[in-house]
Amino acid sequence: MKSYGVSIVLPLFKPDQKVLNKVIDSLKKQQYKGKVEIIQINENAGFSHQMNLGIKKSKYPIVVMLPQDCVPSTKNWLSNLIEPFKDKEVVASVSKVQLPEELWQPMSIFAKALILKERGTITSLLDGKGGAYRKSVMEKIGLFDEKTFKTAGEDFDTYIKLKKIGKIAYPDAKVLHLHPTAFVKRIRKDYQYANGYGALVRIYWNDMPHWYIGLFKAIPVMGIIAFGLTYPFRKGISLLVPFLFTIPFSHIFYIYGFWKGFLMKRQTV
């Protein structure tokens, strides 16, 4: 079977040039037999809008979203990511995401506590970090819902829509997420995530897995219990104490973000 042509979209916003160079260099080394185009979208108009612009500009049937800080881990990343599309029922293919140890080690103990669940390699249900989409299907669902989800929540919103149409594949393809963070910066990011999650719960309810846990976390004071239960014990208990210290801060920002998104029925921050 002839290899698909692939459009790789790079949404950019004040990129770290050294990291971006690594992304471009890794793309140039990909061992993929089909045609490939790279589209850089450098507009500060929200992640969803950038991805939609990329899809509209793309000329090939498969579109890959690769943020400026996600580096393909091997030369076979693209071929492995696209392979599942040989099955005509596959509508999307998801990359695994790895946080490199060299980024993890310098972080403060409290920043580590906040992102412990992301340490190592994780696989989300659908993720813009190296995710591939069948262009025709994305057009069928109206692309990413940029009016409701600017920078958070668009991935799960799209996941729910795509699952009703076809299969989502999880191949042996991985990107390295070169995105260092700090405690305050991560708290702000989690506030944004909570805002998007609140909108998702309002829109989808039972279509959201474990939506009731997210709702319970948004209950003042009582939600602290839910936060405590989210500690990823399978990754060790060395950060349990600093994790408990971060809960009040996370809880306050989560309450504000979640209910703002829930009441407005869209992601606003």
Query: Domain 1-181 maps to which CATH number in 1.25.40.340, 3.40.50.300, 3.40.1350.10, 3.90.550.10?
Result: 3.90.550.10
| pLDDT value of position 2 | 67
User: 211: exposed, middle or buried (C-beta count within 10 Å: 0-12, 13-18, 19+)?
Assistant: middle
Please give the span between the terminal C-alpha atoms of the chain, in angstroms, as a whole number: 45
Is residue 11 within 8 A of residue 41, CB to CB? The reply is yes
Q: Which amino acid is at 33?
A: K
Mean pLDDT in order along the chain per 10 residues (269 residues)? 88 93 96 96 90 97 97 97 97 97 95 94 94 98 96 96 97 95 95 97 92 95 94 94 96 98 95
| pLDDT value of position 209 | 86
| pLDDT value of position 206 | 87
Domain boundary assignment for the chain: 1-181, 182-269
| pLDDT value of position 249 | 95
Q: How is the chain split among helix, strand and coil, in percent rounded to 5?
A: 50, 15, 35
Reported pTM: 0.93
| pLDDT value of position 190 | 96
User: Count of CB atoms within 10 A of residue 156's CB?
Assistant: 21
